[in-house]
Structure 1
């Protein structure tokens, strides 16, 4: 953690947060820790409760049960303006009668920050967000994306110890969104404030955050680093939500002899996970995929097919487009095979997996090794 983080950031601790609406539980005993000075993303599908949780942290909504601690202090009953937070939500909430510049510095002005200091921060933030040409305009003269950037600038310029953001880049075009991901992350690290960031976009979450809290139906499915979420998903939901295209999940029986050996070793039915990019075509294997079609994406191709009757997708070089019905022998590294309990969907650990794969006639594949893909014209 940087010195700036120690100086400015504060931790957030959510303890067993419950939020009940009439007949509906939006949040169910949620526990989340956001370390001081870190960037944590709340990720999940629409309706999973991530925005509700952010509003509870902000003080704009109250939990039915549980506590909100900021910097070790219980602020559960403290109003929003007493929590030392800056916020950017999907509604821009700009003052229509003020210029862009006046909207951005409004909070600093009410706090009594000197004019010279306000202007210094304004020019830096305006340059970062590409708003310099629009500082004299009113919000009505801006596009939706530009208005979103003004709201973002107003939060960033305040340099509060905690910043909450709810889908702040959703209205930006793809190129600016990519630039802003990098710049926003760099700014957060430099200033050291604690960021809690809501998004449904896994790319935003895994490229920006130190920690990703994946939510599902009002509960925390997994809270981990982006690398751990991708490489060691705790549940089948995590496995399918993270990754594009998502992880292949097939019943153990689809893997033939290996599936039988795995279920015998574990003692109950399993679902087997394989990332499309981890599956490699080899010369011979007891595990084979029968292709049905291929989708050309330029540098890559997504080859669809079946293993033991279960649908799967394999990522291949863009030039590779095998004809429907082609049988592809598949190699897999033991680390690329993920086991999940078929009933609960939770991850299962098994030692000696590489030996079971070799015994079943499935060759291993070194991570990063190039597969012997053929140009379909040469087949």
Structure 2
């Protein structure tokens, strides 16, 4: 370290497939984790993200394909020859060793000199706030402190690539939030390439430069957190990213406007609308009958039907309207996402804005002319 950034190396996967007998865990995965950046492997349980990480680490073999770190093909190399560090979900600390001994354990096995070990330990302990705890055993530490020890063991190795498999999942919500901030700052400061597995979309979106969204052993989308949210490539991506998830509706939910859009597209479509993109508007073209609501404090989630299809809308908490109410709604054309009904893939329609002029009446947007106190009466 010595005050300078580490130099990260890109990780490139080419056609990586993993099979166990007739079961395929990964199918033709080709993606690059950018050098010096934070890449998150995101997806539901069982999608193959941890298997992919273990293949990069050399803990499992790919049935097909190649793994490259930098410009070097490491597919056939053992884990200890891949010049990377890894932090596991369980932290894997040695209970009989002190914090200091746990952190420098890898340096000892690599026969790094004593003076250099001590110098690196002092730097890492200061960086991670572990200096007061170096003589303690792991059992004498909190969960967050144990997590820092595991990070310290990875950082002290000064490897250009760091792999992490859901390292925050054992922490409570408050500590997990704090550790997200610390971990992201650490990666930026040191400049190593991070490949981070998580099923938590908040972790991926708040920490990563690039998100690799996986589903059933395949890649759904590779994008920045912003693009993943604003331009989901598939219905799965649209529903997985966002809390609550995007409404996916048939054309009938938009009435004659939906029918016109489908006719212009020349195919059956599904329409995606974020709950926060809908807004009450007396002149709006959409009509929603409320079937329930959930008060969340600053916000509320309104449940209802649009053209017979179930939908959610997010509104300010004090504007929760009673069940049975009928609201007219507005929607901006830029907030309408189109997906091919057969393939589930995003569909672009150049003339969409001209076909949806009746949906959006900006004068009706909350905070412009519609007082919050009047929303429940619309």
Q: Secondary structure at the match of 2:319?
A: coil
Q: Distance in 2 between matches of 1:98 and 1:205?
A: 33
Q: Distance in 2 between matches of 1:234 and 1:9?
A: 29
Kept in 1, the 8 Å contact 2:333–2:359? The answer is no
The counterpart of 1:363, out of the listed 360, 367, 372, is 360
Distance 1:331 1:15, change over 3 A: same
Distance 1:45 1:128, change over 3 A: farther
Q: Distance in 2 between matches of 1:102 and 1:373?
A: 63
Q: Distance in 2 between matches of 1:293 and 1:186?
A: 42
Kept in 1, the 8 Å contact 2:284–2:328? The answer is yes
Kept in 2, the 8 Å contact 1:145–1:171? The answer is no
Kept in 2, the 8 Å contact 1:55–1:61? The answer is yes
Q: Which residue is equivalent to 1:374?
A: 372
User: Does 2:346 align with 1:347?
Assistant: yes
Note the C-alpha offset of 1:127: 5.1
Distance 1:258 1:136, change over 3 A: same
Q: Which residue is equivalent to 1:288?
A: 287
Q: Distance in 1 between matches of 2:240 and 2:362?
A: 25
Note the C-alpha offset of 1:23: 2.1
Q: Distance in 2 between matches of 1:288 and 1:373?
A: 19
Kept in 2, the 8 Å contact 1:322–1:376? The answer is no
Distance 1:139 1:233, change over 3 A: same
Q: Which residue is equivalent to 1:227?
A: 226
Q: Secondary structure at the match of 1:348?
A: coil
Q: Distance in 1 between matches of 2:104 and 2:359?
A: 63
Q: Which residue is equivalent to 1:87?
A: 86
Q: Distance in 1 between matches of 2:347 and 2:235?
A: 11
Kept in 1, the 8 Å contact 2:124–2:155? The answer is yes
Q: Which residue is equivalent to 2:151?
A: 152
Superposed counterparts of 1:55-74, under 5 Å: 55-74=54-73
Kept in 2, the 8 Å contact 1:152–1:168? The answer is no
Q: Which residue is equivalent to 2:312?
A: 313
Note the C-alpha offset of 1:312: 0.9
Kept in 1, the 8 Å contact 2:301–2:314? The answer is yes
Kept in 2, the 8 Å contact 1:321–1:376? The answer is no
Alpha-carbon displacement from aligned partner over 1:304-343 (angstroms, at most 9, x marks no partner): 1110111111111111110111111111111100000111
Superposed counterparts of 1:1-379, under 5 Å: 8-115=7-114, 117-126=116-125, 129=128, 131-358=130-357, 361-365=358-362, 370=367, 372=370, 374-375=372-373, 379=377
Q: Distance in 1 between matches of 2:171 and 2:267?
A: 48
User: Once superposed, what is the RMSD of the aligned Cα atoms?
Assistant: 2.1
Distance 1:126 1:22, change over 3 A: same
Q: Distance in 2 between matches of 1:277 and 1:153?
A: 41
Q: Distance in 1 between matches of 2:170 and 2:121?
A: 22
Q: Distance in 2 between matches of 1:317 and 1:128?
A: 41
TM-score by length of 1: 0.92
Q: Distance in 2 between matches of 1:242 and 1:330?
A: 23
Note the C-alpha offset of 1:95: 1.8
Q: Secondary structure at the match of 1:32?
A: strand
TM-score by length of 2: 0.92
Q: Distance in 1 between matches of 2:28 and 2:312?
A: 36
Distance 1:12 1:253, change over 3 A: same
Distance 1:174 1:127, change over 3 A: farther
Instruction: Out of 308-317 and 50-59, give the one that drifted further.
Output: 308-317
Q: Distance in 1 between matches of 2:122 and 2:174?
A: 22
Q: Secondary structure at the match of 2:318?
A: coil
Kept in 2, the 8 Å contact 1:273–1:337? The answer is yes
Distance 1:61 1:260, change over 3 A: same
- Equivalences, count: 372
Distance 1:23 1:257, change over 3 A: same
